[in-house]
Amino acid sequence: MVSRFDQQKTKHQLFHVSISLATILICMTYMQYRRNWAHLGSFWDSLIVPIVFIGELLKVILARFFGRIEDGVLTAKQRQKKAAYFTPRELLGGLTLQFLCTLLYAFICIILGAPVLANYEQTFVLSLLMTLLTVSPTVFLLGGGGALQVCFCEKPDFITKCEDTALHLFKYNALGGILGAWAGSVVAPLDWGRDWQAYP
Amino acid sequence: MEEHRSRLAYTFYMLTLFLGGAVLFLIGFFPASYSVAEKEPFISIHRPTTLYDEKLNPPPASYESFILFLIDALRDDFPTEHTMPTVNERACLKLSLHVDIPTVTMPRLKSITTGTLSNFIDIALNVGHTEQLDDSLLHRLKQRQAVVSFIGDHTWVQLFPSEFTRQVANNDSFYVNDFYEGDRTVTSALAEELEKTDWKLLILHYLGLDHIGHVEGNDSPRIETKLREMDDAVKKILDHKNMDNYLLMLTGDHGMADGGGHGGNTPAETTVPLYLYSKNCSKYSSSTKRYNQIDLTPTLAVLLSVEIPSMSIGCLIPEMLQSLTLEDQMYAYFYNAHHLLNKARVKFGYESVRRSDYYHWYQNATLLHKQLLKPLRAGDGSGASNVHYQNAKLNYLRVAREISAQLSESLVKFDYGFIAVGLTLTTASTLHLLLSVLFLDIASEKLRLQNFKAAQLLLSLVIGALLNVACHLLDIVLTSSMLNSLLLLVPIVASIYLSIDVIQALTKIALPPLYARRLKLSIPLPIPLLLCFAIRMGTLGSSSFIEYEYKTWYYLGNTLLLLTAFKTLRRRITKANVELDGRHLYKIASACLWQQRKIFVVLLLLVLMRYLHRLSAIKSTLMLFSLLMFWARLRKFTNTPQTVFNGVAFVLVYCFRGLNGQVKFVELPSYMVGRILLPVLVLFWCCVALVFVLGYRTVLPQQSTGKNLLDERPKSNLLKLLQTNMTCSLILVALLYKVQNVVLLPTMLITLDETYKLCDAYGSTARKFSVRVVHVYKIILTLVIARMFYFYQGNSNSLSTIDLNPGYMGQTSYNPGIVAFFVTLNTYSAEIHSFLYLIVHTLRTDLRSVGIIQLQPPYSRAIDTLVMPMYAALVLLPVAFYLCLMLVFRYHLFIYSVFSPKVLYDCYTVLVFYLVFLSTSLYFKFFKHDA
């Protein structure tokens, strides 16, 4: 049992989960501190997006850190791919992908009942948050093209072992984010406005 | 290879049994009348004349003449200084009355005259059937040979066929397009009646305001003119020379909801004003106090000097008794408290009444009352007696209020026998149908669900008979006659038979004879669909979710569409990507996205539909555009001559709306409009008939010549007939729909079409192709889309949103059959037509090539084995579940305001589906073997 915790993979997973938990805790503390939740959805006046962004960035750095250890055992293709991450082309592709994703999430929000234009800022922040939670980590890790391939190919061969672990974790992250957002808005018909239902 | 067997007959039987069960449940849940169950022999109908051996004199009538001026749907905020100046200025007193649900006319009239709460099911009886009452203010007045005159709506005459001395009734109370004619008759009859002076009570009932509300909504400019007209009528009465010692009461029977309808329980509907006028009133006072509408009855009884009707459970309204002497006031309070106490004794038993609080208050009050009698009769109004008086009055009032509240709570009675039988029948038939659909392939052989078993029937007959006798002996079920008891045997036997089947099947499924050969579901159940269905069932338990049911449907429907679209997209990209090994991914992704652009456009359209009610500014353009789209869509289902007549019919629809002034049209003088309107409608009907005849004619030559059409595939006859039917009813709906709703029709067809394409793509891109997955997706998505469009149209779970206008389209009188047909067709058009569209689509898919050819078994064959039974099962399942929930929630606070209207809607949905199903199945039966 003890030996399992010594494995690289398990360590990686544990650190990853603790970063997630820390992000959530910081967000909750921040919400508690702000009291008035009406401003949480505004872009300039809320720290939620930066906090989540830093959290996700830390997770990517973690994956990179563990990835360094296995640098010696990479195949030629993996090396070649890795070198290509920081070319301007890949960077641009990644940014475009994230931007498109944000638009897509905004579209979904509107289709599922968000007001079309009235609260555009809140809708935008929500879709930004969703993008940060779902697409961004993968893009930061693998670049735009890599992320697309992971999404649509059976199993690309340039993925290293460590990246595979991280991708699994990111997948659960994304699924949880989407399902949570969806389930959170099913209850919209409940009349939260009534005084006995309002949050204290 | 499964044997092809039609399940239509079986499904039909199950639906019939379900409906029977639902009717029994409704009878048990909403007993038709309270009075039959509780005859009260102990309450003396005469007024008490002694109090502790002290003699009491019932007071004489305090006014010579009484006028009850009822304005239908007079909402509390309608009479203002601006709209009704006379009414406001000259009133002695203004009160607000709280109206109980259901807020429709007939139950309200019953409440005003008898003083009892009305039954929820009266809302259904409001149209057409009316039972006569046993006892009311009017009966009491008739016993005393007082002259009662009535002018107004004929609902009163149905309720009281022989109680009026004179009556002038308008016979068209449900013809809502009549705004002025009926009211004019009332006003002119009123003038005649004012000349006579013999009447004691005059009842006036004006319907115009209600009709305007139904047709044009509560912010129509005509409402103001109508209120002005009512104001003039009141003025006429007040200024008349014969009016000397009178009491005029102006009130509404119920309010008006914000959309203009009524029947729900919003404050706007349940609050009505009460204005009082008399000659010698001291001053105008406006009281903010709210009383119940049923309080009017005992108060009026006291003022009229008649007995309080035996069923009355109201309190007195002290403000209305100010004109009486103190002694008479005391008598009035005493009499009402006495009456209520007697009712409580009958209801709760003597012993529990004697131990209750209110009995002590009552004793207190009567003692004080007795002490007061002497000083009062001596004419002594000193301070001490005034204190006593106030004390006694307060005690009497709180006794009355307490008992009244308790009685109205305990008025609810359920007939558990009927509820149990109905619920068993509905649940058993639903489960039976569901199991036979889920275990499609083995239902008849292994589970033996659809086979008829004589021995089992005999067994259940015996058990049913025993149960029936036992229940009658134990007084669980009460029926009025022997015949009814025998008839009750049928549902009992049916439910026992079905239950045995279901239990047998369930045990077989849970405990298979050989563990290795577990019985497998024959139908794939995708998790997202299942989850959405489960959430939808779960939301039925919450009153907020029921009030805003449309939000649930929009959310779930869009989620399902999005999810399916994204899954298909991903599968497509993955499939295309396999060969290219990760290169050109951007291009592939964008190409696949472009392939699916239509479904995203449809989703955007669905978003747009949510804002339909805001588009009234461009409704003319919108209507033209949507009629054009609709015509283009329908071309797929019609041949050329039919298409031409379709077009003509749509032009006529636009003309009709234009002539009515709802859309932009050539300006015509009004006398011309009146003349043209009728020919336009006649022409429209001719077009519909022509389309119909042309559609049916294409079937005929094939039968006679037979050979020259050999290349046509079989079943196309059936398909043609069904297409014609659908086209005709869609054209008709285009006429009935509201102007801005017409756009929903083409949108619905487009949405369904694109959804089916999506489902095909979804199925064909799967690794293992299965026809049944496609069928299941199509069925469930059709159901969801049907509900979405049902709510887009403006329907809700409140009875006040039923749109009555289409019922009177082009009619000049009230014809219950036609009105019911039109209103149903208009309200349920989305559900009816999406079902028909699914059938037509499934039949057509066989004729053209989908891309997936050579299916085994053929695609369209599933229509009577899978599609229709499964659709039926999915329609029934939530309703059956909801009926069970109703039983659990029977003492819920909102049971009559939120849950009960929904149950009526649900049962009616099943009925409508049943009729559509029946007619479609008949076509299948007759034309299947035609070719």
The β-bridge partners of B68 are B203, B249
Rounded Cα–Cα distance for residues B242 and B145 (Å): 22
Rounded Cα–Cα distance for residues A118 and A128 (Å): 17
Contact yes or no for B562 and A110 at CB 8 A? no
CB-based contact, A182 to chain B, within 8 Å: yes
With b for 16 or more beta-carbon neighbours within 10 A and e for fewer, the B452-473 pattern comes to: eeeebbeebeeebeebbeebee
Of B549, B570, B603, the CB nearest to A111: B603
Q: What angle do CA B212, B217, B218 make, to 5 degrees?
A: 90
Give the tens place of pLDDT for each residue, B517-547: 566 777 778 888 888 888 888 888 888 888 8
Alpha helices by DSSP H, listed for A76-135, are 76-83, 88-111, 120-134
CA distance A153 to chain B (A): 6
**A53 versus B61: which is more confidently predicted?**
A53
Computed on alpha carbons and rounded to an integer, the radius of gyration of chain B in Å comes to: 33
CB-based contact, A185 to chain B, within 8 Å: yes
Tell me the average pLDDT of chain B: 82
Q: How many CA atoms lie within 13 A of B631 on its CB side?
A: 20
Contact yes or no for B570 and A151 at CB 8 A? yes
* pLDDT of B726 over the 80 cut: yes
The β-bridge partners of B54 are B51
**Residue of A186, A191, A194 to mutate, interface with B, max B Cβ within 10 Å:** A186
- Give me the pLDDT at residue B479, please: 65
Q: What angle do CA A89, A137, A105 make, to 5 degrees?
A: 90
Rounded Cα–Cα distance for residues A157 and A151 (Å): 13
Among all chains, which residue has been given the structure tokens 């009942």? A113
Give the tens place of pLDDT for each residue, B553-602: 888 999 999 999 998 988 888 888 776 665 677 788 888 888 888 999 99
Give the tens place of pLDDT for each residue, A86-114: 778 888 888 888 999 999 999 998 888 88
User: Poorest-confidence range of A99-108, A162-171, B845-854, B917-926?
Assistant: B845-854
Q: How many CA atoms lie within 13 A of B577 on its CB side?
A: 26
Rounded Cα–Cα distance for residues B355 and B352 (Å): 5
**Three-state secondary-structure class, residue B278:** strand
**B377 versus A133: which is more confidently predicted?**
A133
**B707 versus A151: which is more confidently predicted?**
A151
CA distance B615 to chain A (A): 15
With b for 16 or more beta-carbon neighbours within 10 A and e for fewer, the A181-191 pattern comes to: beeebbebbbe
Q: What is the dihedral of CA B346, B350, B355, B356, to 10 degrees?
A: 10
Between the alpha carbon of residue B124 and those of residues B293, B541, B905, B907, the distances in Å are 21, 24, 11, 12
**Three-state secondary-structure class, residue A175:** helix
Give the tens place of pLDDT for each residue, B155-176: 888 788 888 888 887 766 667 7
Of the candidates B155, B105, B107, B163, the residue with the CA atom closest to the CA atom of residue B134: B163
CA distance B551 to chain A (A): 6
- Give me the pLDDT at residue B892, please: 78
Rounded Cα–Cα distance for residues B133 and B114 (Å): 9
CB B209 within 8 A of CB B230: yes
CB-based contact, B571 to chain A, within 8 Å: no
- Give me the pLDDT at residue B307, please: 85
Rounded Cα–Cα distance for residues B499 and B341 (Å): 47
* pLDDT of B4 over the 80 cut: no
Residue A47's Cβ-count burial label (10 Å; 0-12, 13-18, 19+) is middle
CB B735 within 8 A of CB B809: yes
- Give me the pLDDT at residue A84, please: 67
* pLDDT of B702 over the 60 cut: no
pLDDT-derived band at B911 (thresholds 50, 70, 90) equals very high
Contact yes or no for B603 and A116 at CB 8 A? no
- Give me the pLDDT at residue B516, please: 53
pLDDT-derived band at B125 (thresholds 50, 70, 90) equals low
- Give me the pLDDT at residue B709, please: 44
User: Poorest-confidence range of A142-156, B312-326, B860-874?
Assistant: A142-156
CB-based contact, B555 to chain A, within 8 Å: yes
Of the candidates B865, B884, B877, the residue with the CA atom closest to the CA atom of residue B430: B877
CB-based contact, A113 to chain B, within 8 Å: yes
CA distance B896 to chain A (A): 19
Q: Which chain A residue has the Cα nearest residue B572?
A: A152
* pLDDT of A182 over the 80 cut: yes
- Give me the pLDDT at residue A128, please: 92
- Farthest CA pair distance, chain B: 112
Residue B683's Cβ-count burial label (10 Å; 0-12, 13-18, 19+) is middle
Rounded Cα–Cα distance for residues B10 and A197 (Å): 48
pLDDT-derived band at B129 (thresholds 50, 70, 90) equals low
CA distance A66 to chain B (A): 26
Q: Are strands B271-278 and B93-98 parallel, antiparallel or unpaired?
A: antiparallel
Please state the ipTM of this predicted complex. 0.87
Report the helix count and the strand count for chain A, using DSSP H and E: 8, 0
Contact yes or no for B551 and A110 at CB 8 A? no
Give the tens place of pLDDT for each residue, B217-231: 888 888 888 888 888
Of A156, A190, A191, the CB nearest to B582: A156
Residues B628-632, mean pLDDT to the nearest whole number: 91
Percent of chain B with pLDDT over 70: 88
- Give me the pLDDT at residue B544, please: 80
Give the tens place of pLDDT for each residue, B664-696: 887 777 787 878 888 888 999 999 999 888 888
* pLDDT of B747 over the 90 cut: yes
Q: Are strands B166-170 and B201-206 parallel, antiparallel or unpaired?
A: unpaired
B131's CB contacts (< 8 A; 6+ apart) are B32, B33, B125
Of the candidates B425, B578, B537, B561, the residue with the CA atom closest to the CA atom of residue B874: B537
Strand intervals (E) in B589-733 = none
* pLDDT of B468 over the 60 cut: yes
CB B311 within 8 A of CB B118: no
* pLDDT of B101 over the 90 cut: no
Q: Which chain A residue has the Cα nearest residue B580?
A: A153
- Give me the pLDDT at residue B791, please: 92
Give the tens place of pLDDT for each residue, A27-67: 999 988 887 777 777 888 888 889 999 999 999 888 888 88
CA distance A124 to chain B (A): 18
Tell me the two tokens of residue B308.
């309080």
**Three-state secondary-structure class, residue B205:** strand
| DSSP element (H, E) containing B170 | strand B166-170
CB neighbourhood size of B132 (10 A): 11
DSSP label at B769? -
Contact yes or no for A189 and B544 at CB 8 A? yes
The whole-model pTM stands at 0.83
- Give me the pLDDT at residue A71, please: 67
Contact yes or no for A190 and B551 at CB 8 A? no
Give the tens place of pLDDT for each residue, B881-891: 999 998 888 87
B824's CB contacts (< 8 A; 6+ apart) are B912
* pLDDT of B412 over the 60 cut: yes
A14's CB contacts (< 8 A; 6+ apart) are A5
pLDDT-derived band at B37 (thresholds 50, 70, 90) equals very low
- Give me the pLDDT at residue B530, please: 86
- Give me the pLDDT at residue B426, please: 93
CB-based contact, A111 to chain B, within 8 Å: yes
Computed on alpha carbons and rounded to an integer, the radius of gyration of chain A in Å comes to: 19
Which chain B residues are Cβ-neighbours of A107 within 8 angstroms?
Answer: 600
Contact yes or no for B548 and A185 at CB 8 A? no
Rounded Cα–Cα distance for residues B487 and B479 (Å): 10
What secondary structure does DSSP assign to B287-314, as a single string?
Answer: EEEEEEGGGHHHHHHHHHT-PPPTT---
DSSP label at B73? T
pLDDT-derived band at B782 (thresholds 50, 70, 90) equals very high
* pLDDT of B67 over the 60 cut: yes
**Three-state secondary-structure class, residue B208:** helix
Among all chains, which residue has been given the structure tokens 């009704």? B84
B198's CB contacts (< 8 A; 6+ apart) are B147
CB A8 within 8 A of CB A166: no
Rounded Cα–Cα distance for residues B389 and B346 (Å): 29
CB B756 within 8 A of CB B525: no
Rounded Cα–Cα distance for residues B595 and B565 (Å): 11
* pLDDT of B386 over the 80 cut: no
Q: What is the dihedral of CA B219, B225, B228, B234, to 10 degrees?
A: -100
Contact yes or no for A152 and B555 at CB 8 A? no
SS (H, E, C) B452-478: CCHHHHHHHHHHHHHHHHHHHHCCCCC
